[in-house]
């Protein structure tokens, strides 16, 4: 069974930093693209960042570019999101998700998020 | 950047109703459109990819259609467990935004 467990969330002051982690199980982590997606309280889903299986391709949303960095360690089977210069509007639940390319969806730039963790809450407040 | 517009934002329906949600892309995305379901306090769940392919384990009352710029998610006969929020997402090119969501509520 595919499982993803996020950790590292918490309360941080504006301008502060946090590092989120995502620990996978039940699949070969090094073979999959991974995502971070966030959700502000009472709001919709917002794609944050993507990283390919070998870290060759990395994308960040404009809203976090220059402040957040997605990375992975395939040897230690972990996904990370380093968040710096945090703002109140970064508050929300952060989900990690696994990306796959099922038949019929091979050609798009992004994979399909087929498995998700339960999320970790980040609160940015003074 | 490609933008997605979902409609309606809210939908009131009864068990057994046929429900249709629309997602429009600001430019053509072929069939690179994904649908997710999210229940309160839970992670999103993949329903449909490639506009119309049903993810394994998803009931057949869910279906998707469309290509280019206009897509629909249809629930043929709404069940109690289907009351949730539904999101579309385009995966044609980065950035890969989600639609703003459609909340399906009990009428």
pLDDT digits (tens, 9 = 90+) for A39-50: 999 999 999 999
Q: Are strands A78-83 and A18-25 parallel, antiparallel or unpaired?
A: antiparallel
Q: What CA–CA distance (Å, rounded) separates A113 from A98?
A: 5
Interface test with B, best of A3, A56, A105 (most B CBs within 10 A): A105
Quick one: pLDDT band at residue B52, thresholds 50, 70, 90?
Answer: very high
Q: Which of B30, B42, B46 sits opposite A112 (nearest CB)?
A: B46
Q: What pLDDT shows up at residue A88? A: 98
Chain A hits for B87, Cβ within 8 Å:
44-45
Q: Which residues contact B92 (CB under 8 A, 6 or more apart)?
A: A108, A109, B2, B29, B30, B32
Helices marked H in chain A? none
Q: What pLDDT shows up at residue B8? A: 97
Q: What pLDDT shows up at residue B34? A: 97
pLDDT tens string B64-101: 999 999 999 999 999 999 999 999 999 999 999 999 99
Q: What CA–CA distance (Å, rounded) separates B53 from B81?
A: 21
Q: What pLDDT shows up at residue A103? A: 84
Q: Name the minimum distance, in Å, from the CA of B62 to any CA of chain A.
A: 17
Q: What number is the average pLDDT over the span B4-30?
A: 97
Positions of chain A with pLDDT under 50: none
Chain A hits for B93, Cβ within 8 Å:
108-110
Q: What number is the average pLDDT over the span B27-54?
A: 97
Q: What CA–CA distance (Å, rounded) separates B58 from A14?
A: 41
**Under an 8 A CB cutoff, do A108 and B89 touch?**
no
Chain B hits for A61, Cβ within 8 Å:
95
Strand segments (E) across chain B: 4-7, 10-13, 19-25, 33-38, 45-49, 53-54, 62-67, 70-75, 85-90, 102-106
Q: Report residue A31: phi and psi, to 5°.
A: -100, 0
Q: What CA–CA distance (Å, rounded) separates B60 from A88?
A: 41
């Amino acid at each position: 069974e595919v499982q993803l467990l996020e950790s590292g969330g918490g309360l941080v002051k504006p301008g502060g930093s946090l590092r989120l982690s995502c620990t996978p199980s039940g699949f070969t982590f090094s073979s999959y693209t991974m995502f971070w997606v966030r959700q502000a309280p009472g709001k919709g889903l917002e794609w944050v960042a993507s990283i390919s299986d070998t870290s060759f391709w990395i994308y960040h949303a404009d809203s976090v570019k220059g402040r957040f960095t997605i990375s992975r360690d395939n040897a230690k089977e972990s996904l990370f999101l380093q968040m710096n210069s945090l703002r109140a509007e970064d508050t929300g639940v952060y989900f990690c998700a696994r990306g796959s390319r099922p038949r019929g969806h091979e050609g798009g730039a992004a994979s399909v998020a087929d498995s998700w963790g339960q999320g970790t809450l980040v609160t940015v407040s003074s | 950047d490609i933008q997605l517009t979902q409609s309606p934002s809210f939908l009131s329906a009864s068990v057994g109703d046929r429900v249709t949600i629309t997602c429009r892309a600001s430019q053509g995305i072929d069939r690179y459109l994904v649908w997710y379901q999210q229940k309160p306090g839970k992670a999103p769940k993949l329903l449909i990819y490639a506009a119309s392919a049903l993810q394994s384990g998803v009931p057949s009352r869910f279906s998707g259609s469309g290509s280019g710029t206009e897509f629909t998610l249809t629930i043929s006969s709404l069940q109690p467990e289907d009351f949730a929020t539904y999101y579309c997402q385009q995966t044609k090119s980065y950035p890969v935004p989600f639609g703003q969501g459609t909340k399906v509520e009990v009428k």
